[in-house]
Amino acid sequence: MPAHLPAVLAACDRNRERDRADLFRLLAQPSISTQNVGVRECAGLVEAFLDGAGLAAQIIETPGHPMVFGERSGPPGAPTLLLYGHYDVQPPDPLDAWVSPPFEPTVRDGRVYARGAGDNKGQFFAHIAALRAWVETAGQLPVSVKVLLEGEEECGSPHVDGFVAAHRELLAADLVVTADGPAHHETRPQIEYGVRGLLYVEISARGAAHDLHSGNWGGIAPNPVWALVHLLGTVLSPAGEITVEGFHDDVRPLSPAARDAIARIPLDPGAALASVGLTRYAAPEDLGHVERLVGRPTANIAGLHGGYGGEGSKTIIPAEATAKLDFRLVPDQDPDDVYAKLLAHVRRHAPDVAVRRLGAMRPSHTALDHPLAAPLRRALATGFGAEPFDVPLVGGSLPDAVWTRTLGLPSFVVPYANHDEANHAPNENLVLDRFYAGIRTTAALVAELAADGR
Amino acid sequence: MPAHLPAVLAACDRNRERDRADLFRLLAQPSISTQNVGVRECAGLVEAFLDGAGLAAQIIETPGHPMVFGERSGPPGAPTLLLYGHYDVQPPDPLDAWVSPPFEPTVRDGRVYARGAGDNKGQFFAHIAALRAWVETAGQLPVSVKVLLEGEEECGSPHVDGFVAAHRELLAADLVVTADGPAHHETRPQIEYGVRGLLYVEISARGAAHDLHSGNWGGIAPNPVWALVHLLGTVLSPAGEITVEGFHDDVRPLSPAARDAIARIPLDPGAALASVGLTRYAAPEDLGHVERLVGRPTANIAGLHGGYGGEGSKTIIPAEATAKLDFRLVPDQDPDDVYAKLLAHVRRHAPDVAVRRLGAMRPSHTALDHPLAAPLRRALATGFGAEPFDVPLVGGSLPDAVWTRTLGLPSFVVPYANHDEANHAPNENLVLDRFYAGIRTTAALVAELAADGR
């Protein structure tokens, strides 16, 4: 085991009461970015915690909510670890679905319940607690560490791209580690090597100036719902293939290493489906569970609305119809390029249909055999007491491409939170033992990177 | 001019203020059959109006909303005229699209604006006002008259078939006249010799037990909106052809007489489209305006709803989706037969999708050369001061087949309402001069039938 690490781990174990109390202070501070509730107060608190852990901390303004940044240099020539996270949280509603109030952290059955417990305060605070244990125990860090905590992740991270591009020096590092998202497995930790990107669009069709009587106008007036149905039928086939021309141009085929990693992911597909009340997969049927998330982009209708939706019958030709679609993108697709192709497709098949872009995020990708994955694997094994497995790509989106594409760095996502953390939902929670395992993991990672760098 | 008619028409003209005030009382009484709002109160009001016009009036129960029936015998041997209409109305939503509240009748530019103004209160009340003028002026009616007013037309008239079959004696007549629907022309009245039938279904697809995160589950979980989109794509082609197997089996080709009548219908197709803000037709493009309504069935999506419909973006895979479809049927299609074929089609293409039948109505057909059309033509010329034209079939549905198929009677539909009555839509209205012309028409019809019968 690397130098100092046994002593630091022992300190982590001794500090549990204090770390938990500090986490609770952080959770008690609302920081709802979409509603601008408590965000700046929370930024100040986070700055104070970074400062208390021995880092040089500062609040950096953006056009939106501020970033909180901290750094501490290690010995000359040591690698630099950049830890990314976010201190803002989702709105807590519906409030009456919470067993205990969302901003009054409460422990039940070994879990702390609070908004932000898992997403993301409990996870990034594990980093801070580990760094504090290191500095208090060893008087120094064996590598350079930077911490960037965003205040707008739950708004879709609108300013991270610009911030990172404008602060290349400040953020210079050898690797990025993000503790976010729920783990897939109860006991074994995981490393995620990329996230899917996203393109979100709204498409709208219009018919007559107002709803028409379907008897008096049926056969005469174009129906905008039919227009969307026929257009959408050209976007995804019943067989589950996206049929937008050029859509797959930049899809990177799964490498043998990725297929290998997928095969080793511990998963019971039947149980996974059953957990949400499903008995079958989306088309095509003959794909592995994980390959559906890792290997291919998706075209999803998040909503489609037009015409009468009440009880019983109403015989109208609707005047308008709107669909919201999200496309999950895989490396090396680019949302700008995909949007241009989608737009051309719509122009060709339904020139009267309007398309509006509501959001975009690039997919990210780090090679499975990147050498800096090795120290992270060892750290996770130390922290969680079980061998980690590799997930080449995860389904959800994070602004991870700012590291892999904008800065060209390897970036690893390691979820410390339990699979049932209920992020974005009522009764969000974090298993406290996983919080402590996360602290030990970050502590070990610092040591392993130092050992690795020698 | 037949006896008494000049005096009755003069009375109709003198009564305008009173007739209008009574119509407004009727319009102020909501009678939303699909929501069971005010229907019975409205039935009582209609009964009182029939009674006040000198008819023996009664409310007759059905398994749903009641019928209101009135009758008054003419001289022995005189023909019997059955007038059909409906006192229920469509739901008024969206409420905020109304310039004045839907149940506060308001006059602007010679029109009364209210839900039910044209569909159908203003039209059947013209009958009642005419009969009242006859009885008050002549002390009698020169023919026997029966009035049947239904309370469930906007629900698809689910109990009219059974009611008519069970009340053949009560409803015995020589012809049926219905004032309903919008006229096609500003000045020339029209006679309609049949109506399209209707099949209304709701189809629903289910996915997971609840909405899912489209990142974590996209590619895995079936999306019920996609299921509906793909199924609907097999029901109607982008070229506008209904592709349900066997759907067209019983479609009666247009006769030479029907094509002749169609050619004589005064119509400016461009102006008709422009009146509702359209610049082009539904596919297929190469069909005559009237032929679209008369010559072929339709498949219409009256509503389709699934997933997120609010502002901005939400990245979910919806748990469910529902579409409402109406099929307009032409002679000699039968809705039971068409439903069986649709069900088989859905079973074949999307076995997991649920289909629910919400309504059905048979198409009707009366010969263009029926002898009782002649007195009706004369009455319309008197009432509207212009020559009527013949429409072999109209697009909207009425339970007209109960007369033509169940009772074997000739049935004529004569729309008194303006073409832009906006029935089933916000700001429904009736041109008051057409209301008065309708009163004169019914008054003249009674006289012409008596003259014809001598």
pLDDT in tens, A168-213: 999 999 999 999 999 988 899 999 999 999 999 999 999 999 999 9
**CATH 3.30.70.360 describes domain A197-261+295-361:** yes
**CATH 3.40.630.10 describes domain A5-195+364-453:** yes
pLDDT one-digit tens code per residue, B255-270? 999 999 999 999 899 9
As a whole number, mean pLDDT of residues B416-421 equals 94
Question: What are the CA-CA distances from residue A117 to residues A88, A319, A431, B137, B188 (Å)?
Answer: 11, 45, 9, 84, 73
Edge-first strand order for the sheet with A80-86 is A56-60, A67-72, A144-150, A80-86, A175-178, A411-413, A190-192, A389-391
Of A302, A317, A424, the CB nearest to B307: A302
Q: Residue A454: pLDDT band by 50, 70, 90 thresholds?
A: low
Q: pLDDT exceeding 90 applies to what percent of chain A?
A: 92
Mutation for testing the A interface, residue in B200, B241, B251, B276 having most A CBs under 10 Å: B276
Q: Which residues of chain A lie closer than 8 angstroms to B280, CB-CB?
A: 222
**Could you tell me if A168 lies within 8 Å of chain B, comparing CB atoms?**
no
d(CA A158, CA A149): 14
**Could you tell me if A292 lies within 8 Å of chain B, comparing CB atoms?**
yes
**Could you tell me if B393 lies within 8 Å of chain A, comparing CB atoms?**
no
Residue of chain A whose alpha carbon sits nearest to that of B293: A219
- pTM for this structure? 0.86
d(CA B64, CA B152): 8
Distance from CA of A108 to the nearest CA of B (A): 25
Q: pLDDT exceeding 70 applies to what percent of chain B?
A: 100
Q: Residue A276: pLDDT band by 50, 70, 90 thresholds?
A: very high
d(CA B437, CA A425): 63
**Could you tell me if A271 lies within 8 Å of chain B, comparing CB atoms?**
no
State residue A397's pLDDT score.
78
Tell me the count of A-B CB pairs closer than 8 A.
Answer: 277
Residue among A334, A131, A323, A154 nearest A235 (CA): A323
**Could you tell me if A212 lies within 8 Å of chain B, comparing CB atoms?**
yes
**Residue A395 above 90 pLDDT?**
no
DSSP character string of B281-309: PSSPSSS-HHHHHHS--EEEEEEEEEE--
State residue A94's pLDDT score.
87
As a whole number, mean pLDDT of residues B118-124 equals 98
Q: Map out the domains of chain A as residue ranges.
A: 5-195+364-453, 197-261+295-361
Residue of chain B whose alpha carbon sits nearest to that of A154: B314
Token pair, residue A78, equals 């040591």
**Residue B453 above 70 pLDDT?**
no
State residue A206's pLDDT score.
98
State residue A425's pLDDT score.
87
State residue A2's pLDDT score.
84
Question: What are the CA-CA distances from residue A270 to residues A100, A266, A274, B218, B387 (Å)?
Answer: 33, 13, 6, 16, 73
> For residue A359, what are the β-bridge partners?
A200
Q: Residue B365: pLDDT band by 50, 70, 90 thresholds?
A: very high
Question: What are the CA-CA distances from residue B445 to residues B21, B171, B375 (Å)?
Answer: 24, 19, 7
Distance from CA of B360 to the nearest CA of A (A): 11
- The answer for A 348-387 residues in CB contact with B (under 8 A) is 358-359
d(CA B247, CA B224): 25
Measured in degrees and rounded to the nearest 5, phi and psi for residue B314 equal -140, 130
d(CA B326, CA A223): 12
Q: Are residues B219 and A277, on separate chains, in Cβ contact within 8 Å?
A: no
Residue of chain A whose alpha carbon sits nearest to that of B229: A229
Start-end of H helices in A218-295: 224-233, 256-264, 269-274, 289-294
Question: What are the CA-CA distances from residue A167 to residues A22, A72, A147, A156, A163 (Å)?
Answer: 30, 17, 13, 20, 6
**CATH 3.30.70.360 describes domain B197-251+296-361:** yes
Pairing of strands A80-86, A144-150: parallel
**Could you tell me if A285 lies within 8 Å of chain B, comparing CB atoms?**
no
Q: pLDDT exceeding 90 applies to what percent of chain B?
A: 89
Pairing of strands B411-413, B175-178: parallel
Q: Among positive and negative, which fits the CA dihedral A216, A221, A222, A223? A: negative
Q: Which helix (H) or strand (E) holds B23?
A: helix B16-28
**Could you tell me if B200 lies within 8 Å of chain A, comparing CB atoms?**
yes
Q: Among positive and negative, which fits the CA dihedral B383, B389, B392, B393? A: negative
Q: Which value, to the nearest 10 degrees, does the dihedral of the CA atoms of residues A90, A95, A101, A102 take?
A: -10
As a whole number, mean pLDDT of residues A44-68 equals 98
Q: Are residues A217 and B276, on separate chains, in Cβ contact within 8 Å?
A: yes
Of A229, A272, A311, the CB nearest to B233: A229
d(CA B193, CA B183): 14
Q: Residue B362: pLDDT band by 50, 70, 90 thresholds?
A: very high
d(CA B278, CA A206): 10
Q: Which residues of chain B lie closer than 8 angstroms to A310, CB-CB?
A: 91, 93
State residue B74's pLDDT score.
97
State residue A43's pLDDT score.
98
Token pair, residue B267, equals 């119509």
**Could you tell me if B217 lies within 8 Å of chain A, comparing CB atoms?**
yes
**Could you tell me if A284 lies within 8 Å of chain B, comparing CB atoms?**
no
What average pLDDT does chain A have? 96
In this structure, what DSSP letter does residue A95 have? G
pLDDT one-digit tens code per residue, A306-347? 999 999 888 999 999 999 999 999 999 999 999 999 999 999
As a whole number, mean pLDDT of residues A229-243 equals 98
Of B209, B236, B395, the CB nearest to A215: B395
Q: Are residues B313 and A424, on separate chains, in Cβ contact within 8 Å?
A: no
**Residue B337 above 80 pLDDT?**
yes
Q: Residue A285: pLDDT band by 50, 70, 90 thresholds?
A: confident
Mutation for testing the A interface, residue in B89, B315, B398 having most A CBs under 10 Å: B315
Residue among B88, B119, B87, B86 nearest B415 (CA): B119
Q: Are residues B305 and A310, on separate chains, in Cβ contact within 8 Å?
A: no
pLDDT one-digit tens code per residue, B44-102? 999 999 999 999 999 999 999 999 999 999 999 999 999 999 999 999 989 999 999 99
Measured in degrees and rounded to the nearest 5, phi and psi for residue A70 equal -140, 150
Number of residues assigned to chain B: 454
As a whole number, mean pLDDT of residues A127-142 equals 98
Residue among A308, A335, A223, A195 nearest B240 (CA): A223
Token pair, residue B304, equals 């389709």
State residue A453's pLDDT score.
66
**Could you tell me if A341 lies within 8 Å of chain B, comparing CB atoms?**
no
DSSP character string of A112-124: EESTTIIIIIHHH
Measured in degrees and rounded to the nearest 5, phi and psi for residue B166 equal -90, -5
d(CA A81, CA A182): 22
**Could you tell me if B158 lies within 8 Å of chain A, comparing CB atoms?**
no
State residue A54's pLDDT score.
98
**Residue A365 above 80 pLDDT?**
yes
- The answer for B 22-61 residues in CB contact with A (under 8 A) is 34-35
**Residue B454 above 70 pLDDT?**
no
Mutation for testing the B interface, residue in A315, A325, A329 having most B CBs under 10 Å: A315
